[in-house]
Amino acid sequence: MNNEELLSFARETLDIEISEAHRMRDRLDGSIATACYLILACKGKVIVAGIGKSGHIGKKIAASLASTGTPAFFVHPTEALHGDLGMIDTHDVVVFISYSGHARELDILLPLLGESQIPVIALTGNLSSPLAKAASCVLNICVEREACPMGLVPTSSAVNTLMMGDALTMTLMRQRGFGPEQFARSHPAGNLGIKLLNRVYHVMRRGNQIPRITINGTVMDAMFELSRTGLGLTAVCSPTDCVIGVFTDGDLRRWLVKGLELTAPIIEAMTIPGYRFLPDWRASAALEAMHQQKITSAPVINLKGNLIGAINMHDLHQAGLE
């Protein structure tokens, strides 16, 4: 078998799966809306269940639902028959995935769910199966042909199952108005979570790590403070700790190049007013502002203008921002 034959077989697999996905799209009807309404009205959680390949896909669907605003988790039907059924409450909705719609576990579970009047959404390819007949809503995932040469391995049907789960999840996500901020809160360690959730107060320096001198100080005082903290600037404050301006490494270099005295009052050498941040700014916005202003550090003030922290670009990069 040569490379061209291998490539041909691979393309044939994709062509078959794409064709079956198109058929599913074309026959999609109001059942998807019914499924959405059932889940939106649910006061509990969405319980996704499935066996074999359907179970693996069910875990992904449950995870996608949970991360996009619909509380959900996966329960294995066999485990449900040995105690995990207690995890399913009358306020829940069950999404059961079975392409054939036939399984020993189904024969036991479906009557129990029916007795408790728990809505069942079926993802199945057999509309005359026990699962389809017992379900409150059926999402048809049937295929005319599996991509498997023997027609045995779940391929096209597995893709359809995954795609139907995604269609349901994304429709619910839009209906709930689930946006980037909510997504970030369910993915706090991801890039979006770091970008949207981190605030200046999360990463700013505090206490004796804040470089500061009073307006009555000298250039030498500021130089010592720059050296002590290594932040690249020191805040210059009033006696009541309000930030009047800043003195940076750049200010010091320019002062020394001019050959001016280090004993001179800081007010003669400082930058007024200097750039500063509020603590509840998004850290990503602070980093963007630093790039725009061509600065590497800044003091952090409260609404009264008092110094409460300091931040530099290195701190932001260490927090995972780029």
Nearest CA to 70 out of 162, 191, 176 is that of 176
3-state secondary structure of 127: coil
Hunting for tokens 């725009």 — which residue is that?
292
76 belongs to an annotated ligand binding site: yes
Calpha distance 136→38 (Å, rounded): 9
Distance of CA 299 to the CA centre of its chain: 30
Q: By the 8 A CB rule, do 94 and 47 touch?
A: yes
Backbone angles phi, psi at 319, to 5 degrees: -80, 0
The count of residues in the chain is 322
Tell me the C-alpha to C-alpha distance, in Å, between residue 264 and each of 144, 216, 242: 87, 10, 21
In whole angstroms, give the CA distance from residue 76 to residue 58: 9
Q: Among 18, 51, 35, 318, which Cα is nearest to 163's?
A: 18
Report the 10 Å Cβ neighbour count for 137.
22
Taking only Cα atoms into account, the Rg of the chain, rounded to an integer number of angstroms, comes to 31
3-state secondary structure of 190: coil
| CA–CA gap between residue 166 and residue 46 (Å, rounded) | 15
Annotated binding site for Zn(2+): 76
Annotated binding site: 76
